[in-house]
Each structure stands twice: as structure tokens, then as C-alpha cells.
Amino acid sequence: MCGIAGFTILEQDDPYTSVSQLHRMTGSLFHRGPNAEGLYLDERIALGSRRLSLVDISNGSQPFYNENRTVVVIYNGEIYNAPALRKMLANKGHKLYSACDGEIIPHLYEEYSTDFMSRLDGMFAIALWDTTCKRFILTVDQAGIKPLYYTQKEKRLIFASELKALFSIGGARPPIDPVSMLSYLKYKFIPAPCTPYTGIQKMMPGQTLVWEDNRLVADRGSIPIGHSDGGDLTELLETAIKTTTMSDKRVGCLLSGGLDSSIVAAVIANELPNAPIFGVGYPGRLEADETYFAAKLCKELGMDYCQVCVGPADVPANLDEIVWHLDEPNQDPITVPYFLLLRQVKESVSVVLTGDGSDEFFGGYQRFAVWDAESSSNLDAYGNELFLFRLEELRQDFTEAYRDAFERLASEQSFPQIHSLQSCMAWERQYRLPAYHLNRVDKLSMAWGVEARVPFLRPTVTNYALRLSAHELRNQQTEKVKLKEAFRGRLPAWLLERKKQPFTFPISHWLRTELQEWSKETLLYSASPVHAFVDRTYVACLIDQHHAAQADHSHKIWSLLVMDAYLKQN
């Protein structure tokens, strides 16, 4: 829906400087909300937003206030149960003047104080200022769909939807955190609350911060998604998908050809039969190309299928811009096709639904198969599937300057709480899903002023999934057992019986062919900043072995290319 930013103000601060700083922060988020800017400033706080108008386009300007304007709110996201909450608030005597979902937030706060966010069904990052008791609240949704970064500086709290907005207000940029960069090489992402920079944190899923008297007085940490009494999964999902389409602008759907996005597309076909379906293809008959299956499903559903073709030349041409939008290094190779796909989406729609989040709740990933049989080596096998660079593999290759950072990371236990399929999935929901997947979903859709929504992460669906046993999630190497049962008869048998294939692009093939020289020029022939973290001779070994087909090092090479682009920009 938009981007938000702001900061608390000290008595000695120059008000004219505060206005200028706030404008710079919101200006850096223009791509997230090209339709309008909203500002609020008083002697204690500065709040700003950029709006992407999707619901009640003419009346939904921010900030939002209560009746006497003592509670001020800016927010990013969508609240899907806003109609029900609006009715409840009206019955309690609250006056609301628009159909915009965000207008309910200050009134909800009046009713439930710092617990108001537990009533929300949606994706959100919220900043709320109570002018009466001088209380400031930051909170994000329980799945971590919408990002929010913050830092404390000279008794100030500064926050924004994107890191780049924090840097726009001036002052020296904080140094890169070597522990975070090494975490990236290990996990393929930087787990929250860490960020690439020292002194800056990213809010965890479900986290709430309360700021009073120039200090944090409460940090509720991550609130786990609650359980439910169940229900019919088919009905729950259909309702979740249908109600996630709320918008005054046209809605579409992203389709990879896999089960999750196919479920979303099938429901959309009944609800919005004219909605366009978008997918990605690649030149040549490459294994990563699933457009045959996506097009086949669309034909059976009677839907229009729009395909974007991504070639090897698109990778170096767009990587710098993609990394800039992501804000954090992210090894996920699909960032390139996803970015280019959303560019095409923008030409037709402003909202798209995706299938993200299903694997983490319904046991879909192939690496989860290590838990199908009881074994004392399950955790090691899971780590082998999940990790990119093993720390012991890289120990001799790290430069001396970052040896201390390496020792700190090596001393940490990777998975202290994992002992089963369910605990493994819980870890991924807490750390990997927000940083590796949802950061890409948010940043690369908002890069084009498109809002991507994830119906599989609606509370009714996730609460149902949390009730499922390991046997209902996976059974004899079959993933998503319960999900497939729910849509058997509603989706074609050929799709339900397909072996799961990750949504990716042919990076391994291209790094052996068209992109081999580019990877060498980037990582070997120049003074790449990755050499401060990984020895150049080790990088050369990875590239040579991959090109000779002695091993598939494509994901490691790709991670270093992303890291190189990120460090050169920062």
C-alpha cells in the first residue's frame, strides 16, 4: 500500500531541519507510494508516508486520526477484516469517514490500547503516536510480510519501511556488520533482527516496540501465531483468497506452475474470471521453465496467461537495480525473474496474489524430507540442505580482518531449538520466510508500485496449518498431504501428481555458458569487495570447477555476485 518513515524529536532539534529530513525520507520511498505524500509533525515526533492508492482512492489519505486527533497513525499494508472491525467500532460510537482500511487503527487503539494489533487480520507495518500520553508504537504483522527497520541514535528512534530511507536524513552511514555478511554466506540471507549495518535492526514477525520518555519501554518480541479450532481447509483457503482481492483497482495473480500458486489461480478464476495470470519463461528448453504447466492450467481454467521471457543478458543488466531495491543481500536467484515479471505486471494491474508462504506451513520443501524418517542425523542432513557455505569450509579462506567476526558466528549454535519437522518449519517461519522470501515479495513488487499479497499467510489458514501433525504434512515422501487432499477434484490430477519443483531460473546453465565471463570479470578480474570476506583464490576455484562441470557451485557463485553488487553500493 505504501512506505512509511519517521523519527522522534528532541527539544533542541530545529523544526525546519526536521521537516526537511522527513521530506527526504518519504522522497526515498516514492516508488512504494507514487500517488500521495502524507506528513505529521509536532514537537515530539515526525511521521511520513507515501501512498499507493488501492482502496477508497479519493478518501484514504494519511495520516489517520481518531475523532479528536489525539491518536495519529501511518501504516503500510492491508487489513482484510477492516469491514467487520469498522462495524464493531461504529456500534461502539466511533465516527469513521472513509472506506479506507487504515482509518480503523487509531479507533482500535482507543478500544484495546497496546493490544490493538492482535485484532488485525492482514499484512501491516504501523506507526502510532498517542499525543496525550506521549507514547509511540511500532508494530508489524505476525508473519513479517511488511518490513520495518529502526535504529536508536542520540536518544532518537528512527524508523522506515526501507533501509535507504534511514540513510536519507544525513549523517555518516553506519559500517557494514561483518557478522551479518557472514550470516548471509551461511544462510543465504541475514536473519532478523540483524541487518547489513551495525546499529540498525529489522523488526521480527509480530514484534511491537513502545517508546516513551526518549527510550524504549517495551519490546514484546515475536508474538507466535495462535492456534485455532480448525474447519474445512478448502473453505478456509477459498475465503482467504477471495477476501485478499479487496481493491478498487484491477487484481491479477502470479503463477509458477506449482501447487500453491495454482490453488490461488483456480480460486481467482471463479471470483475474478477476467483477472490476468502472469508467469516467467526462459529461452530454450530449460528445466527451470515451467511455463508449459502454467499455460496448460490457465487454458483449463479459461484464464488469460501473460508470459515474460527472461534471458541471460537480463541478469547483469538488472542486478544492480534489483540489489538496490532489496536493501539487503538476498541469494534467492528468482529475484531477477521476479523483478522483471513485476515490471510487466505493472502495465496491467496494481495488485497481485502469490502462493508464497505455503511451503513453510504445509511442509512443502524438498529439504523437509530429511524428517520423514526418525534419525539422529536428521538435523545434520537438514543443515546440509539449507546452508550455502559451511563455516568450516570457509574458515581457512577468510581474510584476517574478519577472523573475529567469523569466530563469533562459528560459536553460535545454528539450530538450538530444532528437533522435528514442526520445529524446523517454525524456525523457517521465524527467520527464513521473512528475510529470504517475503523481503523479495515486498521490495520487488513495491519497486514498481505494485502490491503483492499472500493469502496463504492469512491467520485462518496459518492457524489451521499449525494444528496439523507431521503425518498430515508429509507422508512417505509426499509433501503437502492435507493441502493436496483439500483441492483434489478442484485441480487437475496431473498438477497434484507433479513432483514439486522450486520456482527458480537457469542460473547453473547460464553461469557455465553466457554468464561465465561476466562472473569472472565481476569476481576475479576486478578488486571485488567480496575479497574482504572470501579469498580470491577460493572464488576462482568455485568458478573453474563449476565451468568444468566438476561440481554445481552456481548458488555459491550467485551469492557472491549479489554480495559484490551490494557492497559496491554500500
Q: Active site includes 2?
A: yes
- From the candidates 2, 194, 253, 306, give the one annotated as an active-site residue: 2
Where is the binding site for ATP, in residues?
A: 254, 280
- Beta-carbon count within 10 A of 9 CB: 21
- The segment(s) of the chain belonging to CATH 3.40.50.620 are 233-363+421-497
What three-state secondary structure class fits 338? helix
Q: Are 111 and 90 in contact (CB under 8 A)?
A: no
pLDDT in tens, the chain (570 residues): 589 999 998 876 766 578 889 999 999 998 887 776 889 999 999 999 986 655 544 556 789 999 999 999 999 999 999 999 999 999 999 999 888 899 999 999 999 999 999 999 999 999 999 999 999 999 999 999 999 999 998 889 999 999 999 998 877 789 999 889 989 999 999 999 999 999 999 999 999 999 998 888 877 765 555 555 568 999 999 999 999 998 888 899 999 888 999 999 999 999 898 899 999 988 876 665 678 888 899 999 999 999 999 999 999 999 999 999 999 999 998 999 999 999 999 999 999 999 999 999 999 998 898 888 766 567 888 888 888 987 766 655 556 667 777 777 777 666 667 888 999 999 999 999 999 999 999 999 999 999 999 999 999 999 999 999 998 999 877 899 999 999 998 999 998 888 776 667 889 999 999 999 999 999 998 789 998 888 888 899 999 999 999 999 999 999 999 999 999 998
Name residues whose C-beta falls within 8 Å of residue 491's C-beta, 6 or more positions apart in sequence: 259, 262, 263, 266
CATH number of the 2-220 domain: 3.60.20.10
Q: Which triple of cell numbers denotes residue 501? A: 519443483
Predicted local distance difference test score (pLDDT) of residue 570: 86
What class has domain 233-363+421-497?
alpha beta
Q: Are 358 and 437 in contact (CB under 8 A)?
A: no
Q: Are 483 and 456 in contact (CB under 8 A)?
A: no
**DSSP line for 299-321:** HHHT--EEEEE--TTHHHHHHHH
Predicted local distance difference test score (pLDDT) of residue 220: 76
Q: Which triple of cell numbers denotes residue 386? A: 539449507
Predicted local distance difference test score (pLDDT) of residue 52: 63
CA distance 449 to 53: 10
Predicted local distance difference test score (pLDDT) of residue 485: 93
Handedness of CA 336, 339, 340, 342 (dihedral sign): positive
CA distance 172 to 308: 41
Where is the binding site, in residues?
A: 101, 254, 280
Q: Are 466 and 361 in contact (CB under 8 A)?
A: yes
Q: Are 33 and 3 in contact (CB under 8 A)?
A: yes
- DSSP 8-state symbol, 534: S
Predicted local distance difference test score (pLDDT) of residue 353: 97
Q: Are 569 and 324 in contact (CB under 8 A)?
A: yes
The pTM of the whole model exceeds 0.75: yes
Count the residues in the chain. Answer: 570
CA distance 134 to 284: 61
Predicted local distance difference test score (pLDDT) of residue 56: 47
Predicted local distance difference test score (pLDDT) of residue 172: 75
**DSSP line for 391-453:** HHHHGGGS-GGGHHHHHHHHHS-S-TT--SHHHHHHHIIIIIIIIIIIHHHHHHHHTTT-EEE
- The segment(s) of the chain belonging to CATH 3.60.20.10 are 2-220
